[in-house]
Amino acid sequence: MKSTAIIIAGLALTGLLSACSGHKPVKTVSTSKESATKVVKPQARADRNLYYLPPPPMPDQRTVADVLQAYGPYASHKLSQYFAKAKVSYPPREVAFIALKQEKKLELWARDSGEFRFIRNYNIQAASGVAGPKLRQGDKQVPEGIYRIVGLNPNSNYHLSMKLNYPNEFDHFHAWQEGRANPGSDIFIHGKAASIGCLAMGDEAIEELFVLAAQVGTDNMKVVIAPHDPRTYPLEAGTLGLPEWTHELYSNISREIKALSPVEKSAKRGL
């Protein structure tokens, strides 16, 4: 009976530890030719009065190819209609996501050649934190900046997920300057509707975005995350407590968004 009680207590603690970091242990599969598959294995630990029983390593339940087989036909059919309306071939050559925290919108832009064209909007189901960049592990902030997708996880605890390269070079540099040893990591665009620093899109939306990423290739994608839409009103870094370098960050974000979506070309973004 005593051992049974210990096991039950350990399993309960395991459930409490699930969060956005619950993507681990996972196999993160990148579409980049040079990226290697990495499996992160959990480790047991003994506390004073409780033996922690880690969950078993997640089996390779499915691959990116399995996801494409399961969701690809429907997602591609649905997306191709939006692409046809925008006069962009499907799948396109390049894709850009513009994520707006205040508006809780993720815009999909794409191009074959020339300028990017607006394809469609997605509602962000959850994005924890407030306006301002992510600074440290555990602050529950969705980061702000210009990022890349570096891996596709078909076995996410949040249905499907796409890993961002946070912290990027800009984030690393300013963390080093300020002596912040742990700026955080494991930031994803994923399914479901719960967020602790990630962009939660819901399951149907992440199926479309995951399929699109797999077909286009993560090397041909970028993700811009802003506190609000700078095409509506300027990004200001005057909020009390934001680092001085936030002015530079917001200037970079504004310039990138306006380059991707000139004002005169983005009148249909409300579709």
Put residue 87 in one of left, alpha, beta given phi > 0 → left and psi -120 to 50 → alpha: left
121 within some domain: yes
Share of the chain above pLDDT 70, in %: 75
Q: Which of 34-38, 84-88, 249-253, 255-259 has the lowest mean pLDDT?
A: 34-38
pLDDT confidence tier of residue 262, bands split at 50, 70 and 90: confident
Written as one string, the DSSP assignment of 197-258 is SSEE--HHHHHHHHHHHHHH-GGGEEEEEESS-TTTS-----STT--TTHHHHHHHHHHHHH
Q: Tell how far CA 139 is from the center of its chain.
A: 16
Tens-digit pLDDT profile for residues 107-138: 999 999 889 999 999 999 999 999 999 999 99
245 within some domain: yes
d(CA 196, CA 100): 16
Is the pLDDT reported for residue 88 higher than 90? yes
Do 101 and 210 share a structural domain?
yes
Do 159 and 29 share a structural domain?
no
Do 165 and 90 share a structural domain?
yes
pLDDT of res. 263: 59
Tens-digit pLDDT profile for residues 40-82: 333 433 333 344 344 444 456 899 999 999 999 999 999 999 9
Tokens of 44: 């047991």
Rg of the chain over Cα atoms, rounded to whole angstroms, equals 20
Do 239 and 105 share a structural domain?
yes
Is the pLDDT reported for residue 156 higher than 50? yes
pLDDT of res. 265: 53
Q: Which domain holds residue 6?
A: 2-52
Do 145 and 20 share a structural domain?
no
d(CA 207, CA 25): 21
69 within some domain: yes
pLDDT of res. 112: 94
Domains identified in the chain, total number: 2
* DSSP helix/strand/coil, 122: strand
Active-site residue set: 190, 198
58 within some domain: no
Do 233 and 131 share a structural domain?
yes
CATH of the domain at 87: 2.40.440.10
pLDDT of res. 270: 53
Tens-digit pLDDT profile for residues 235-256: 988 777 899 999 999 999 999 9
Q: What is the pTM of this model?
A: 0.79
270 within some domain: no
Do 160 and 41 share a structural domain?
no
User: What are the CB-based long-range contacts (under 8 Å, 24+) for 250-254?
Assistant: 250/144, 250/226, 252/145, 252/146, 252/170, 253/144, 253/145, 253/146, 253/224, 253/225, 253/226, 254/226, 254/230
Do 32 and 71 share a structural domain?
no
pLDDT of res. 22: 53
Q: Are 21 and 54 spatial neighbours (Cβ–Cβ below 8 Å)? A: no
Do 200 and 70 share a structural domain?
yes
